Each structure stands twice: as C-alpha cells, then as structure tokens.
Structure 1
Amino acid sequence: MSRVRWSYACAKQLIERLVYAEGAENGLEFTIVRSFNWIGPRMDFIPGIDGPSEGVPRVLACFSNNLLRGEPLKLVDGDQSQRTFVYIKDAIEVVLLMIENPARANGHIFNVGNPNNEVIVRQLAEMMTQVYSKVSGEAPLEKPIIDVSSKEFYGEGYDDSDKRIPDMTIINRQLGWNPKTSLWDLLESTLTYQHRTYAEAVKKVIAKPMAS
C-alpha cells in the first residue's frame, strides 16, 4: 500500500462486521445505519464560537465558517471529490421508519443519503457562495474560492476517497424510502440558520483585538 488508510473508516468497517457476525452466530437483532453527510441546522461546530478554535469541521460547516467570516472558501487539492448530502429531516424520517417497522429493518445495513444531491466539492463551494449571498444580503467576495494543498490544510499524511455515493437499493426495497429535499433547498435552510445564529457572534470575534 502506497497510501495510509484512515483508522476512522477501518474502525467503522470493523464494528459493522462484528455486529453482523453476532447476529449470524448468536441471533442479535440489529439494524445498521450508514449516514452519508446528514446536513441541517446545528450540524457541526463553528470554530471559536461553539467549538474549539483549532480543528477542522466537516466540509459544509467548514465552508459555512469561511462564509460567516467573509473569507474565501478553501478547496483542498482542487477538490474534484464527489459527495452527496441529505437533509436531516429526510434522514430522521427514515430512521423513524426503521423503528416503526422492525420486521423490515432487522438484520439489514442501510445507506441513508441522497444520491440525487451528488455534487463535486468545487461545485458545492460555488453553490454555497450563491446561497449565502442570497440569505445574508452580502455580495460575494471578488475571489470567493482559493486552492490550497492538502499538506497546507491538513498536514502530512492526508488521505481521502474520491467518491462517496450511497447505493439505495436495500433501503428502497425494505422501506420504500427516498429522500425529498434538493441540495439547493437544504443549503438555503442550513445557511439561513447559520447566518441568523452565528453572524453577529463571528463579527464580535473578528473585531476583538488580538492579545499581545
């Protein structure tokens, strides 16, 4: 192997196999939910406001933080990676379906995402810039997006998958569920909340003089 695999992904894969084996060998009743970027209000922390100043939240919250601070959105290594995003209300709807229909959910592993909202991360950044300008009334920066290297942004050893798109075959068959909310609508709802909740607090942090 020429690239180091993240322990995060390996740990999730290992626990899935452990739970599945316990079901096969000892009759454990289980339902496993694989969440593919559940997005909505309160989705993640804003650095220095309701979370640590250091550290990198998930991509959508990271871009939100840049927008709130009036900073360019940073794209890592060109960010041609493909992702999907599902609105939190859609995700909760299907989790409730699993709880209410144990005979259909027991023993299955469900991907909960929205393949209809597939987007390249660079396109996501462009869309978020447009949506935030609409909900905040602020004009976009002259240069709203900049490119940075993964080494500069994350440090040594960064590794990630190029494409994460959920296969919905099993969840469609077992529960008849499909997500409803478009990418634009979930971004508008989420960024409206982010602006109303954090914009003033971020301005105060930015205006605060640096300690000498």
Structure 2
Amino acid sequence: MPRHVLITGGAGFIGSRLAARFVAEGHRVRVLDALLPQVHGADPTQTSPTLRSVAEVAEVQQGTVTSTEDLRAALRDVDIVVHLAAETGTGQSMYEIDRYVEVNIGGTAKLMDLLTNESHGVERVVVASSRSIYGEGKYRSASGQTVFPPHRSDAAMASGDFAIRGADGEELEMVPTPEDALLHPSSVYGITKHVQESLVMTVAPTIDVEPVSLRYQNVYGPGQSLSNPYTGILSIFSTLIRQGKAIDIFEDGEESRDFVYIDDVVEATMIAALEPAAAGGIFNVGSGQATTVLEVVDALATAFDAKVEVSVSGRYRLGDIRHNVADTSRLRDVLGFQPSVPFAEGVRRFVEWVVEEPVGGGEYERSLEEMAARRLLK
C-alpha cells in the first residue's frame, strides 16, 4: 500500500537518497529541511546537489524542527515519519552545545509533543540514532570478561597512550557492540542522540505510534558533504588528496570505525519504516567490520591512484572514541537485512563521484583552529 512519508532533514545526504528510494517504490514523500549553509552552501538552490535531487522527486518544505508551526505543516496527512533532522559532528558539538541541544533534543521534543497533543495520522516514527551513544562500546579482557570502559583521559592521551585499558591497566580487546550495551556517550552530540532516541522510544508507544530506532555507524558514499568539515573523514581526506596536501592523522592511526555505505543505510532505513517486524525495535546499522584510519587513507590512495603524504602526529580530540564496530546480528535476524557493499568497493564508488565535484578548501583547517582555540584539539 502506498504510504505518505515525512523525512525531516530530508534534503541531506541520507534523506535525499532515501526519498528517491521511497518514490521509486510508489510512495509519496514530503521533506522538511532547514537548508543550513554549513551543509547546503550559501544559496542551496545553486550550491546543494542533494536539494536539487530531492526536489525532483519529493515535496520540499523549508523549515526547522525547532518550529512548532513548521512541524505541524510538515506532518499534515503523513503516516510515517523518518526523523533524520539533527546537528551532526562530534567535535563541533563540544563547543556549540546550546545549538546541538536545541535542534537535536528540542526538535525531537516538539515532534513528539505535537504527535501527543494534536490529531494526526502518523503510525510509525523512525528516529536516526547514532553509534556515538555507546561511547567506547564493548570490550573484552584477557580473561574473557565483558567491559564497558570509561572515556579515555586527557592525561593518558597526552602521554601518547591511546589504548583502552581496564581498571588494572590491562589493554582491552574491542569486540562488536550490540544494542543492549551500556550507553555512555562521550560527546555532546552523543548525549543529544541518546536523548532523541529515548524520547521517541518512550513516548511513541503511549500514543499508539510505532517507534523504531536506527543506530547508524559511519555512513559514507556519493552525495555526502565535501565542504562540511565536522563530519566524514573520507570527505576530508579526499579534499586534502585533491589539493595535494599532506594528511595529518590523529592519535596513532590505529583508531577504527565501522564504515557503512549509503545504499545499505537507505535500504535498512526503508525496511525499518515499512516492515511490521521492525515496530518497537532498536537496530545497529553498520557493516560489522572495523576499519582503521590508516586503512582509510590506503583505500583512498588506491582509489585515487595517488601518492599521499601522511604524517601520524599523535594529536587527539577530546570527545573522540578509540574504536567502534557494530554487532549487526539483530538487523539480520529480525529484519532479514545484511549490508553488502565492501569498504574497498564503496570507496571506489565514492571516489568516482568525488572527482566530478568541485574541489573545496579551507574549511577543514578552520575547524581545527576553532577546536584548538577551545583546547579540544591537543
């Protein structure tokens, strides 16, 4: 049965691709997006390819989730909400605290308040949560004991010790983090995503709306912002390679993330929005594979067929985690979906797209200066 879907933040990287996917399957889509300059450029109709693409398939409403009036208009006649709208970026969240809280928490609170107190036809809300809510995630000691370690200290990292250690100083082994792991975010961004998820999962069942939470890992692929310096190391490193600049790798380069390709994320999100078995569920959306920062640089150098100058500086950012990889067994077992695009293939497709885009410059360096000035980059 065709559905009418509202995607908040729908003119962005994930939302624009998701809208096209829904429409291709015969559904109707409305997008609510603030079209922020940091994401879409100074003149979005000219500078935002994701806005142009989504405008071809969906109804686009410019507005913000922090406005009750904008949300009320966007919710008219829809039966599914995919709530992607959020300020993103771990580093920036540590000094733009009020903005992150207002948009991520306040916007979600307004959405749930409207659904609670006004008539509507919404049957399901899918909220985009994040791997950041786990903090350092799940580890294992040499004796096999499960450990959810605390955040790394400034003093330890300043001494060049970036490892995750137990209370006795033993270095711990990272293992895939399942959805029932301890939640202890290490950044303001992570805190806001935790509260977003909690608001939806707590309030929705009380008003007969089905909640679904998707804890996205590190999403990458064609269409992601090449100018926003606060998200996406693939975008950042790609721009540096195209500018002929050296890549400065923080810590020791062995820190790792779970990179998941955009097409896999879109498919998982669509299933979560439509599949009856998803109702009430919380799902990791990742590849289930850990990739180090050094491996990212190698993959990009191969895809660009470029010689890349690399320095491992030992610098570090407060709020960053050491490792992350998702346990995706629940996604497979409950929703029957397993991400299928290997990292090397995904990077190849990403680079094919990047080389057709304009080369940016300057934003990343300015972001580092901002963090250093606030003593968040050491």
Q: Same fold (TM over 0.5)?
A: yes
Question: Amino acid of the residue matched to residue 132 of structure 1?
Answer: F
Aligned residue number for residue 60 of structure 1: 234
Inter-partner Cα distance in structure 2 for 1:65 and 1:97:
33
Inter-partner Cα distance in structure 1 for 2:230 and 2:315:
12
Residue-by-residue CA offset, 1:144-192 (whole Å, 9 max, x unaligned): 21123436xx6xxx22111111111221121111011111100000011
1:73 aligns with 2:247: yes
Aligned residue number for residue 173 of structure 2: none
1:119 aligns with 2:291: yes
Aligned residue number for residue 338 of structure 2: 178
1:140 aligns with 2:312: no
Give the 4+ runs in structure 1 shifted more than 3 A: 1-5, 23-28
TM-fit CA distance, 1:5: 3.3
1:150 to 1:113, Cα distance in 2 relative to 1, 3 A: same
TM normalised by structure 2 equals: 0.44
1:162 aligns with 2:343: no
SS at match of 1:197: coil
Cα contact 2:285–2:326 (8 A) shared by 1: yes
Question: Amino acid of the residue matched to residue 202 of structure 2?
Answer: A
Identical amino acids, percent of aligned pairs: 20
Aligned residue number for residue 32 of structure 1: 213
TM-fit CA distance, 1:56: 3.8
SS at match of 1:38: strand
TM-fit CA distance, 1:128: 1.1
Inter-partner Cα distance in structure 2 for 1:83 and 1:64:
17
Q: Structure 2: which 5+ residue stretches go unaligned? A: 1-150, 155-184, 362-378
Correspondences of 1:167-206 after superposition (within 5 Å)? 167-199=327-359
1:42 aligns with 2:42: no
Inter-partner Cα distance in structure 1 for 2:205 and 2:294:
43
Inter-partner Cα distance in structure 1 for 2:230 and 2:203:
35
Aligned residue number for residue 108 of structure 1: 281
Inter-partner Cα distance in structure 1 for 2:329 and 2:205:
22
Residue-by-residue CA offset, 1:98-138 (whole Å, 9 max, x unaligned): 2231x21110111111013x2111111122112111xxxxx
Aligned residue number for residue 89 of structure 1: 263
Inter-partner Cα distance in structure 1 for 2:337 and 2:237:
30
Residue-by-residue CA offset, 1:48-96 (whole Å, 9 max, x unaligned): xxx5xxx444211111111111112220122211111111111111222
Cα contact 1:45–1:57 (8 A) shared by 2: no
Inter-partner Cα distance in structure 1 for 2:215 and 2:262:
14
TM normalised by structure 1 equals: 0.76
Question: What is the total number of aligned residue pairs between the two structures?
Answer: 180
Question: Amino acid of the residue matched to residue 16 of structure 1?
Answer: E
1:29 to 1:56, Cα distance in 2 relative to 1, 3 A: closer
Inter-partner Cα distance in structure 1 for 2:230 and 2:256:
19
TM-fit CA distance, 1:23: 3.9
- The structure with more helix, counted as a fraction of residues: 1
Residue-by-residue CA offset, 1:2-47 (whole Å, 9 max, x unaligned): 569311111111222222222455544111111111111111233x
Let me know the Cα RMSD of the aligned residues. 2.3
Aligned residue number for residue 129 of structure 1: 301
Question: Amino acid of the residue matched to residue 319 of structure 2?
Answer: D
SS at match of 1:190: helix
Inter-partner Cα distance in structure 2 for 1:82 and 1:33:
21
Question: Amino acid of the residue matched to residue 195 of structure 1?
Answer: V
Cα contact 2:205–2:211 (8 A) shared by 1: no
Question: Amino acid of the residue matched to residue 9 of structure 1?
Answer: G
Bigger relative contact order (CA 8 A; separation at least 6):
1
Cα contact 1:68–1:198 (8 A) shared by 2: no
